[in-house]
Chain A
Amino acid sequence: MLCEDFRKTLDVDPGADFPGRAAHAAACDDCARYAAEAAVFERKLAAALAIDVPDLDIRLPDDPEESDVVSLDDRRAARRGTGTRWRGLPAWAGIAAALVLGIALVLGPGGAPQQPEPAALAAEVIAHMRHEPYSRVVTSEAVGASELQGVLSPAVSRLDSGRLGLVTYARTCPINGRPVPHLVVQGADGPVTLLLMPGEKIEAPVPLEGNGFHGVILPVGDGSIAVIGEEGRSVEDVAEGVREAVDWRI
């Protein structure tokens, strides 16, 4: 592969795992540096795009056949007359998050869900799993050290890959508006996806089931780590080691 082709491919998709990527980066210091810089650039791009989302006040008609959608002009006029429409999170949004994709909630001592947030986080994680299916492949080709470091920094100060296993995919992805390291490691029972989420604090493990996936979100310090495999495959070996394998930078 030529350096120009390597860089052009990165400019199109810095997270792409194209044939020869690792080998070329290992053989060319300049291109390895280019890839590391591209990873940093991409994280900033993802962070910039992930703007805060207001609590949308979504209203549905009582009757599904109700008349046409109210025009934007009408709603803008209504907004001018009534002030802001930013309101508290509608109840249906929380309910939907809890129900989506058959996620099992961890119940508190009283039998009630501990917080709505873990369910919403679980929904976000599972929704994200629909993407990058090409990352979940059995392979022995590890991600390069500089590329991995580029994805981990600045969220993670230490990753003990010896405890975790072979890291075969690394990319920065948005979860709840924050760029987080998305890794795939080769577990004993197949590829296991890890989402390292330093800003998503939870109090107790949140099991994930459904849509062909199986796993858990583990509380780790002031953040959490999602450990997800395919349905019917064990992720326990990775889940057991991951808490000890990661230190947050902040």
Chain B
Amino acid sequence: MTGTTEDRRRRHRFERLVGALRQDMYRYAFWLSRDPALAEDVVQEAMMRAWRSLDRLRDEGAARQWLLTIVRRENARHFERKRLDTVDVDDLTRKDEGLLADSHDTDVDDMRAALLELPDDYREPLVLQVLLGYTTEEIAGVMDLKQATVLTRLHRARNRLKEHFAAEGLTADE
């Protein structure tokens, strides 16, 4: 039913909860999928699912984690459905050259390229921690891992990035 007070109230609630979280949802989706167009689709689909299940969200303070969990599931669903061909990082880098070179900062561009080469299992906890501000305990909850595993992956992720820069003869910390 459209235009009713109840419907307007529901939309208002959705917009209030979700409006400020669009950026987080898109960035998370991008770093999960490594594909800007797919990230956009995943966010759209996640928004729709969130809209349909909005009434089940009782604790509005949990909206962020709720939405990001939906994004994560939507991304997984997509890959399960499509069983996508293995992504060639070199192809991806070329395809997303515009994105990777978007910062006008070669250090940042180099870091993005290195991040795209990280295994998914290492990249995701790093995104959740650095970009989204999650604690290791929260990351463990989102990824359904033990906290010790999260700590190990974060440690290895950073080391791999540093090794990448060392191998390339670049400096990411100067």
Contact = CB atoms under 8 A, between A and B. Distances in A.
B86 interface: no
Nearest to B138: A131
Nearest to B54: A64
B7 A13 contact: no
Contacts of A126: 20
Contact of A130 (B10, B19, B64, B130): B64
A13 to B, nearest CB: 7
Interface in B9-55: 10-12, 14-23, 26-27, 30-31, 36-38, 40-45, 47-49, 51-52, 54
B174 A40 contact: yes
B154 A53 contact: no
A48 B41 contact: no
Interface in B113-153: 115, 126-127, 129-131, 133-134, 136, 151
Contact of B49 (A12, A44, A46, A69): A69
Contacts of A29: none
User: Which of B26, B37, B133, B161: most chain A Cβ within 10 A?
Assistant: B133
Interface in A88-114: 92-97, 99-101
A81 to B, nearest CB: 14
7 smallest CB-CB distances across A and B, nearest first, come from A96-B19, A131-B133, A48-B111, A96-B15, A37-B173, A123-B20, A49-B131
